[in-house]
Amino acid sequence: MKTRPTTRERLVPHTIDGKTRMVPDTETIEIPLPPRDWDQIGINTVTGIVALALLGCMGFSTASIGDLLSRVTPEPAAYGAAALFDLAWIGCSIIEWLARFTPDRAAKARAGGYIALAVAMGAVAAHGWIAGGIATGLVGAAASGLAKGLWAIVLDYQAAPLSRRDSAYFEQELSEAAVELARIPVRRRVNRARALVEGERRALEADSGSADPDPSGQSEDSTDPNVHAINPGAVTTKEAVRIAWDSGVRDDEAAAKYVAKVTGKAPSPDTVARYMRLLRTNLAG
């Protein structure tokens, strides 16, 4: 059995003049090595091969499709668009791997990947046919097919097989997690809306409780005995606005006209608008 030396530190008793203390000490021990995991070595090797194949395939496809498109568009735009052909099916393959625990969702990514691969292979074959003939086009298109096929085999080998019940269980787990995640922005929006409503309500209450610029809006039950109403039987602006509101008037201008008609004088538009806002807030609450 193969071993490897390793050094570790431990506390050991050490006595001087009859007084013992625990002091650090080092020792070297031999630890047995586990046997090589040839399966993991093999899958790592294949993964490296797939990565190289994807890079080579993408470079070849981009060059081929870019040369084809550069005949009708500027080269930077042509080669930028050419890179999308392989990036599309590579992205779908990555999503397929991420969704391996939910087969229904992985199936959509798998189908999209094969569609994007077919488009990319068709574009490479068209360029090869124009540049060198049918054989050149078919061989060039086969490069993308081989890279995609190798990757699909590796992904299928790496993905753990799941029963239908297992898949349904994981779907429910992901659904619950998604609901919890979705609650965060929804709760934030609800709290923001409630804060705006509360701020508007407090502002209106503070506004209505401040000194009224219109003397006709003051209450007849004033606590100051030295203050006497000039015309106790007259309708105040606030009362007139309330009557107009109860009659179905919702427009500030129409309410102001009604107040002027009832009280016999033109009210302040800002005062009428404030009373109308307060009534709307009370109705909404």
Task: Note whether residue 179 is domain-resident.
Answer: no
In the chain, what is the straight-line distance between the N-terminal and C-terminal CA atoms, in Å? Answer: 81
Q: How far apart are CA 62 and CA 144, in angstroms?
A: 11
Examine the domain organization and report whether 95 and 11 are in the same domain: no
Is the pLDDT at 214 greater than 50, yes or no? Answer: no
Distance CA 98, CA 92 (A): 10
pLDDT at 209 over 70: no
Q: Does 95 share its domain with 157?
A: yes
Residue 8 placed within a domain:
yes
Count of structural domains within the chain: 2
Residue 139 lies in a domain: yes
Per-residue pLDDT at 210: 44
Asked if residue 111 is part of any domain, the answer here is yes
Domain shared by 62 and 132, yes or no: yes
Looking at the fold, whether 16 and 104 belong to one and the same domain comes out as no
Domain that holds residue 16: 3-32
pLDDT digits (tens, 9 = 90+) for 114-152: 899 899 999 999 988 888 788 888 888 888 888 888 888
45 shares a domain with 23: no
* 3-state helix/strand/coil string of the chain: CCEEEEEEEEEEEEEECCEEEEEEEEEEEEEECCCCCHHHHHHHHHHHHHHHHHHHHHHHHHHHHHHHHCCCCCHHHHHHHHHHHHHHHHHHHHHHHHCCCCHHHHHHHHHHHHHHHHHHHHHHHHHHHHHCCHHHHHHHHHHHHHHHHHHHHHHHHHCCCCCHHHHHHHHHHHHHHHHHHHHHHHHHHHHHHHHHHHHHHHHHHHHHHCCCCCHHHCCCCCCCCCCCCCCCCCCCHHHHHHHHHHCCCCCHHHHHHHHHHHHCCCCCHHHHHHHHHHHHHHHHC
**CA-only gyration radius of the chain, Å:** 40
In a domain, residue 181? The reply is no
Q: Are 157 and 50 in contact (CB under 8 A)?
A: no
Q: Give the pLDDT confidence of 215-260 residue by residue, as tens digits.
A: 444 444 444 444 444 444 467 888 888 888 888 888 888 888 888 8
Instruction: Write down which residue in 134, 161, 188 finishes a domain.
Output: 161
If asked whether residues 9 and 86 sit together in one domain, one would say no
Q: Model pTM greater than 0.85?
A: no
- Same domain as 25, residue 94: no
Instruction: Look at residues 124, 145, 161 and tell me which one is the last residue of a structural domain.
Output: 161
pLDDT of residue 223: 42
Chain segment 80-113, per-residue pLDDT in tens:
999 998 899 889 988 988 888 887 788 888 899 8
Residue at 105 is within a domain: yes
For residues 47 and 102, membership in a common domain is answered with yes
Spatial distance between the Cα atoms of 246 and 229, rounded to a whole number of angstroms? 26
Q: What is the pLDDT of residue 215?
A: 45
**Residues 130 and 17 both lie in one domain:** no
Q: Which residue has the higher pLDDT, 44 or 284?
A: 44
Residues 15 and 72 reside in one and the same domain: no
What digits encode the pLDDT tens for the residues 22-71? Answer: 999 888 888 888 888 888 888 889 889 988 988 888 898 899 999 889 88
Q: Are residues 21 and 67 in the same domain?
A: no
Instruction: Determine the pLDDT at residue 115.
Output: 92
What is residue 40's predicted lDDT score, i.e. its pLDDT?
A: 85
User: Is 231 part of a structural domain of the chain?
Assistant: no
* Same structural domain, 15 and 91: no
